[in-house]
Chains A and B, each alone.
Chain A
Amino acid sequence: EAAVTQSPRNKVAVTGGKVTLSCNQTNNHNNMYWYRQDTGHGLRLIHYSYGAGSTEKGDIPDGYKASRPSQENFSLILELATPSQTSVYFCASGDFWGGAGAEQFFGPGTRLTVL
């Protein structure tokens, strides 16, 4: 069974503060993704990675950085958090093997509130 975990599950931050969201996967997948979910916008891709040491910009990367220090771990970093970054953040892992039908597996999400 695919396993993606996220920490923290809930986070309250202050405007201008630094926030780090962490994600760990035990699937040995090459690819990892960070999404944010907002009502009316669905799931939007922030950053993704093809493997350790690589990060790529997604559709809405502004205000976010990402780090992939190992196959298992992928972090999302908000250097200067703003209230507009209040959202639910999901991490996912997946692979290209299995062709186009290869699935992505999501973590349980992190609810971030920036005051």
Chain B
Amino acid sequence: GDSVTQTEGLVTVTEGLPVKLNCTYQTTYLTIAFFWYVQYLNEAPQVLLKSSTDNKRTEHQGFHATLHKSSSSFHLQKSSAQLSDSALYYCALRPSSFSKLVFGQGTSLSVVP
């Protein structure tokens, strides 16, 4: 079946340094879309980034991600982490237009001074 793997449960980074959250997937579908959701403390998850185009960089709020179908990855990166980036991040795959979202287990990002 379809699956999404986020290998880190917790990532701690110093303010101003780069951060990378890993996301890999398995699916047999060809037309797929990927999402990064962010959930701040006591709030609902909300979409941060989305992409369905192979090898195209997508950016929003200083974060960026590139869907690489060759390596089955959609890693989230930021060049300079801010304290306000501390949150729970979910990677999610929609294998086809009529599929449900498949979520990873989430990565908690803690940005410290």
Q: Write out, one digit per residue, whether chain A residues 75-115 have a CB within 8 A of any chain B CB (1) or not (0).
A: 00000000000000010000010011111111111000000
B52 within 8 Å of A by Cβ? yes
Q: Hey, which chain B residues are within 8 Å of A40, CB to CB?
A: 9, 105
Interface SS, A side: mixed
Q: Hey, which chain A residues are within 8 Å of B43, CB to CB?
A: 108
B94 within 8 Å of A by Cβ? yes
Q: Write out, one digit per residue, whether chain A residues 32-74 have a CB within 8 A of any chain B CB (1) or not (0).
A: 0100000011110100100000000010000000000000000
Q: Which of B47, B100, B104 contacts A48, CB < 8 Å?
A: B100
B72 within 8 Å of A by Cβ? no
Summed over the interface, the residue pairs from A and B with CB atoms below 8 Å come to a total of: 54
Q: Hey, which chain B residues are within 8 Å of A33, CB to CB?
A: 100
Q: In the bound complex, do residue A106 and residue B90 qualify as a contact, i.e. CB atoms below 8 Å apart?
A: no
Q: Hey, which chain A residues are within 8 Å of B97, CB to CB?
A: 96, 99-100, 102
**Which of B43, B52, B94, B96 has most chain A Cβ within 10 Å?**
B94
The residues in B between 53 and 98 inclusive whose CB is less than 8 angstroms from any CB of A are: 90, 94-98
Q: In the bound complex, do residue A42 and residue B106 qualify as a contact, i.e. CB atoms below 8 Å apart?
A: yes
Q: In the bound complex, do residue B33 and residue A100 qualify as a contact, i.e. CB atoms below 8 Å apart?
A: yes
Residue of A nearest to B6 (CB): A42
What's the nearest-Cβ distance from chain A to residue B6, in Å? 8
Residue of B nearest to A107 (CB): B44
What's the nearest-Cβ distance from chain B to residue A49, in Å? 11
Residue of A nearest to B101 (CB): A104
Q: In the bound complex, do residue B45 and residue A41 qualify as a contact, i.e. CB atoms below 8 Å apart?
A: no
B25 within 8 Å of A by Cβ? no
What's the nearest-Cβ distance from chain B to residue A75, in Å? 18
What's the nearest-Cβ distance from chain B to residue A43, in Å? 5
* A interface, CB within 8 angstroms of B: 4, 33, 40-43, 45, 48, 58, 90, 96, 99-109
A45-B100, A100-B52, A101-B50 given; name 12 further pairs at CB < 8 Å.
A40-B105, A41-B105, A43-B103, A96-B97, A99-B33, A99-B52, A100-B32, A100-B96, A102-B94, A103-B47, A103-B50, A105-B46
